[in-house]
Amino acid sequence: MRKKAAKKEDEAPAQAKPAGESAQEFLDDVEVDYGNEEVKVSEIDEYSYAMKIPRDRVAVLIGVKGKEKKDLEEYARARITIDSKEGDVTIAGKDALKLYELREVVRAIGRGFSPDHARLLLKPDYMLELINLKDYGADNKNKILRIRARVIGTGGKARKTIESLTNTSICVYGKTIGLLGECTEVANAKRAVEMLITGSMHATVYKWLEGQRRKARIERGRDYYSPSRS
């Protein structure tokens, strides 16, 4: 039975470019595909995903002396093949669930999250949500930069406040805003970011989030004192 030869992996660059929030990111990732991964299943029941990440994130995925890549491969019992020049990433393995988790970690690293934050996606009930600013009418550089500024806030205040009120991590990178955390909290963070994108005042967004947090506490209290626990 013939198997398709894996593409040889290039060595990682000496230094990884930090995942910042500069306007240059807009230019760096113009050609990046954010989520249309190709999914294949071979005749020997080996699953694979093909993705593309920004080239300046390749070294972060590989890690120092390949450590990050090796650790992820060992966790998922999978192979990660990386084309450092093009940013093409292919992952393959037989455990479909772990391979899906691995794909989400790679996507998170590709959209600016640190490996430590991205590995939270290996936990149950954690998820990654990517908001593509082009879907909200940001069809040119100036609009994208304006929305990014609203979501980040002065000195990063808006982003930090949303993170604090939702227990999530937010990464503004290029033309996307990444949200990472527990599923219910990510839903609230996404709604808050969407409110800012569509023009809501920051104070209005914070008030809404505080209300959602109070509701969650009340619901947890009801669950604790429910008859089923007695």
pLDDT in tens, 146-183: 999 999 999 999 999 999 999 999 999 999 999 999 99
Residue ranges, comma separated, of all CATH 3.30.1370.10 domains in the chain are 32-118, 123-230
Using 50, 70 and 90 to split pLDDT, how confident is the model at 228? low
Report how far apart, in Å, the C-alpha atoms of 189 and of each of 28, 105, 194 are. Answer: 26, 19, 9
Domain 32-118 CATH (choose: 3.30.1370.10, 1.10.8.590, 3.40.50.300, 3.60.10.10): 3.30.1370.10
Averaged pLDDT, 114-134: 96
pLDDT in tens, 76-108: 999 999 999 999 999 999 999 999 999 999 999
In 3D, which of 25, 11, 79 has the Cα closest to residue 54? 25
Would the pTM of this model clear 0.85, i.e. be above it? no
